[in-house]
Amino acid sequence: MSVDKQTNKMSGFKIMKRLAKEIKPVSGYMGLCITGGILGQLTILGTLVAGVGIICTYAGIDMMLSIGQWLVALFICAVLRGPSRYLEQYFGHHVAYKLLAIMRVNIYDNLRKLSPAKMLDKKNGDVVSTAISDIECIEIFFAHTVAPIAIAVVITILSLILCAVIWPMIALVMLPFYLIIGIVIPIFSARSGRDTGRAYRS
């Protein structure tokens, strides 16, 4: 069975699980990427909360902090937003390109083992070009998929916990919408676009 046929029979989850195992050599950098992403999302939420706190406090509603304290919180969140975003993007792409380099070296090592007996009927340029283009497509997964999923899961859990502490009914109302947005819609989108992706790859 060819590699393409094997890949086509693998589900998207199995492919992602298989690729995720490749992150082990750079797991520390991925952790920094995820940490930066979580901090960035928390600063966004903090900015919104601080803004609401300022408005409500000015309107005479008790929000536990003074307007000055809310302004300080707003300033801190605004300042941390930039570095946290940079941290996420820098280490996310560092992980991706580091893994691309490792995978390319492994590809060339395997091609060298196959040569010349297994490569006589192959066009070497086409084989190398296909291998490199496939690996470059994987960069999207490592740089723009793994960390965002982890960040989304953590932020969702923290949001639900916070809402449950304030008023449990809010968390119960939000939960089904989180499930629809985070699970149902991505699965539907993946299935609907699977044939298009395979056609583009071929």
Write down the H helix ranges in 115-184. Answer: 124-144, 146-166, 168-179
Specify if 190 maps to a domain: yes
Could you tell me if 62 and 110 are in contact, meaning their C-beta atoms sit under 8 angstroms apart?
A: no
* Range in 73-77, 178-182, 198-202 with the lowest mean pLDDT: 198-202
pLDDT at 152: 93
**What burial class does residue 102 get, using C-beta atoms within 10 Å of its C-beta: 0-12 exposed, 13-18 middle, 19+ buried?**
middle
Structure tokens at 88: 């996420």
What's the mean per-residue pLDDT of the chain?
A: 82
Specify if 179 maps to a domain: yes
d(CA 179, CA 160): 12
Structure tokens at 28: 């520390």
d(CA 141, CA 139): 5
**Beta carbons within 10 angstroms of residue 96's beta carbon:** 26
Specify if 153 maps to a domain: yes
Rounded to two decimals, the pTM is 0.77
Specify if 47 maps to a domain: no
Q: Which amino acid is at 184?
A: V
Half-sphere exposure of 8 (CA within 13 A, CB side): 12
Specify if 172 maps to a domain: yes
Specify if 187 maps to a domain: yes
Specify if 42 maps to a domain: no
pLDDT tens digits along 89-98: 999 999 988 8
pLDDT tens digits along 103-147: 888 877 777 776 666 555 565 566 666 666 666 677 788 888 889
Pick from 30, 21, 28, 3: nearest CA to 149: 30
pLDDT at 39: 96
pLDDT at 130: 65
pLDDT at 176: 93
Number of structural domains the chain divides into: 1
DSSP letters along 48-95, please? HHHHHHHHHHHTT---SS-HHHHHHHHHHHHHHHHHHHHHHHHHHHHH
Percentage of the chain modeled with pLDDT above 90:
40
Sign for the CA dihedral angle at 178, 184, 187, 189 comes to negative
Structure tokens at 132: 């490199």
Specify if 176 maps to a domain: yes
pLDDT at 18: 78
pLDDT at 138: 77
Residue 11 three-state SS: coil
Q: Domain range spanning residue 157?
A: 145-194
